[in-house]
Chains A and B, each alone.
Chain A
Amino acid sequence: KAGVTQTPRYLIKTRGQQVTLSCSPISGHRSVSWYQQTPGQGLQFLFEYFSETQRNKGNFPGRFSGRQFSNSRSEMNVSTLELGDSALYLCASSLGSGTRNEQFFGPGTRLTVL
């Protein structure tokens, strides 16, 4: 089975722009979660989607949004980019939603905001 894929792998944007990141989960997985990783704040949860519904949201401003499609693929969008949004964005998928489920991570998208 193919793993979690994320596109693009690298992205450079300037302040004020917006960006869309894409995630394709493992086949059959219905839950997709997004995390932000930075040297200062570590790994922080952004949101979780299950069956096209946002189930859980982390403590991020409204500039961060996401969605999930009927085939479980997910996108996250960041509008009005700030320098502090530079980070590795990781997507993870799991079979179902709920605390027992192990999450499988993609390689990440490294976003640099100039």
Chain B
Amino acid sequence: AQSVTQLGSHVSVSEGALVLLRCNYSSSVPPYLFWYVQYPNQGLQLLLKYTSAATLVKGINGFEAEFKKSETSFHLTKPSAHMSDAAEYFCAVSEGIQGAQKLVFGQGTRLTINP
């Protein structure tokens, strides 16, 4: 079974500072990886996905993530944090057998932006 570990349940940065949210995965096959964001009282919104094309993936709202096979990592970054980035972020790996699918999520990282 595949798994995802997000290092740091809470991350706090100042507005304008670099955002770095860490995600490591465990997979026996080439993974499909996703980052989702959840704002309070809402569902999950897809930020970006890695599906074995380019290793540097650009997403919405200025976020990007780099797939590093040697480190089994898929860390999420944004050069300059904005107050509106405050939310919970989830890294997920897609797992499936015989064409079925499910997402296996990390525990989430709550991002706080300080003014």
Residues of A within 8 A of B (CB): 4, 31, 33, 35, 42-43, 45, 48, 50, 55-56, 58, 90, 92, 94, 97-108
Closest to A101 in B: B101
Task: List, in ascending order, chain B residues with CB within 8 A of A42's CB.
Answer: 105-108
Q: Which of B46, B95, B99 contacts A104 (CB 8 A)?
A: B46
Residue of B36, B95, B105, B107 near A99 (CB, 8 A) is: B95
Contact A102 B46 (CB under 8 A): yes
> With contacts A42-B108, A102-B34 known, is A97 near B99, CB below 8 A?
yes
Binding site for A on B (CB under 8 A): 32, 34, 36, 41-46, 49, 51, 90, 92, 94-97, 99-108
Q: Is the interface of A mostly helix, strand, loop or mixed?
A: strand
Closest 6 CB pairs of A and B: A55-B100, A56-B100, A105-B43, A43-B105, A99-B94, A105-B44
Contact call A94/B101, Cβ cutoff below 8 A: yes
Q: Is the interface of B mostly helix, strand, loop or mixed?
A: strand
- Known interface pairs A43-B103, A100-B51, A106-B43; 10 further A-B residue pairs with C-beta atoms within 8 A, sorted by A's residue number: A4-B43, A31-B101, A33-B103, A42-B106, A55-B99, A56-B101, A94-B101, A107-B42, A108-B42, A108-B43
Whether B100 pairs with A97 at a CB distance below 8 angstroms is yes
Complex partner residue of B43 from A50, A101, A107, CB under 8 angstroms: A107
Alpha-carbon distance A55/B97, docked complex (angstroms): 9
Selected contact of B102 from candidates A45, A90, A105, A106, CB within 8 Å: A45
Q: Given the complex, which residues of A lie within 8 Å of B99, measured CB to CB?
A: 55, 97-98
Q: How far apart are the CA atoms of A107 and B41 in the complex, in Å?
A: 8
CB distance from A49 to the nearest CB of B (A): 10
Report the bound CA distance from A103 to B103 in whole Å. Answer: 9
